Amino acid sequence: MATRYRYIVIGRGMMGTAAARYLSKWTDGVALIGPGEPADYRRHDGVFASHYDEARITRTIDPDPVWARLANRSIDRYAEIAATSGIDFYSETGCLLVGPQPENDAAYVTRILDAARRLDVVTGTVLDDALAAKFPYFSFPAGSQGVWEAKRAGNINPRRLVNAQVLLAERQGAAIIPETVSSVRQEGDFATVSTVEGKTYQADKVLVAAGGFSINENLLPRRLDLKVYARTVAFFEIDQQTLDAWGSVPSLIWKWSEADEGIYLLPPVRYPDGKLYIKIGGDPDDVLLPTEPEIRAWFKSGGRESTKRHLTEVMRTLMPELDLSRSSMAACVTSFTPTGYPAIAMTEADRIGVLSGGCGAAAKSSDEIGRLGAELVHHGRIIDDAYAAETDFRADYL
């Protein structure tokens, strides 16, 4: 017989684990199903996740009010999650946002400053010479302007945050099932979840939080309208002596022109191999991954050499004194919905909900996004009236 639960959350990523923590805090009968990180990516034939990393940017400033609320509410809870789990995952190194000195109200820096004022965020404005003096390890072109957010900003360790959420969910009574779901189907007043391992589980309601893998049509009644893009990040090793000379390094978002998307950069962080790496991301073009097999193959590929070369050239401009000879790369994905916000909605099968679509901005905000997903299946809808949930978080299908 199938094991029965009240709620099953599918996906042990940043959103799914947060949803499981909230559900298990509110009720019993919660299960979280999803595999852990594979030991060998290239030999792994199962699913992957993009949180297999040591650093993601966190910041409170966002020109979009919805994303700003998601971020600020999540950041408010970092200390509580760390204290109750005993797992530290947040480093308040600050975040520096740099672009060309603005010439009009639509300019990047202007929009950042306007957002900071709306959110009552204390920032500092840093111009050419002051940028070089305050952040001497960076070399920005003449005519640059920086917005410096020193508090409630920096970086989080996504692996450790996920571990903290799982630990707390399990402590609250949630069952943690390290299996890979192969299908979900509604059968009357319950949903049945089957796994690759040959097990079957039933629940009053199921929340599919499988990241880019949510496009698998066996997980939802219809295929989710979710565009999944291949991303490559590059890593540059530095030694402890260099880091000691630099002191504290912030997270960075840099747009060298109004037309370009720019890059993001994480400060030196120690990785599981014991070495310190600076991470940089910002693909110069988009590569769409239309099917789940293509997503799996992309993760196994390890990334694109052409993107790594592009990011290396950016680093030569941005940090010209840094030795770039010790470098590597990794593959991840970003998933975008038509709304530009996460899809957090019940499907046409009223026992199955979806929580997916980070839109390249969800890591720092994952706790609040997960809370909304938990609210969705627990109450049948998002009841927090701070959001226009039916429009902002709707799920579209192909």
- What pLDDT does 379 receive? 97
- Separation between Cα atoms, residue 61 and residue 69, nearest integer Å: 10
Q: How confident is the model at residue 50 (pLDDT cuts 50, 70, 90)?
A: confident
252-267 pLDDT per residue, tens = 999 999 999 999 999 9
The strand pair at 181-187 and 190-195 is best described as antiparallel
138-151 pLDDT per residue, tens = 999 999 999 999 99
- Decide: pTM greater than 0.75: yes
283-301 pLDDT per residue, tens = 999 999 999 999 999 999 9
- What pLDDT does 2 receive? 84
- What pLDDT does 350 receive? 93
Q: How confident is the model at residue 71 (pLDDT cuts 50, 70, 90)?
A: very high
Task: Tell me: pLDDT of 1 over 80.
Answer: no
Mean pLDDT score of the chain? 96
357-392 pLDDT per residue, tens = 999 999 999 999 999 999 999 999 999 999 999 999
Residues 169-195, mean pLDDT to the nearest whole number: 97
Q: How confident is the model at residue 20 (pLDDT cuts 50, 70, 90)?
A: very high
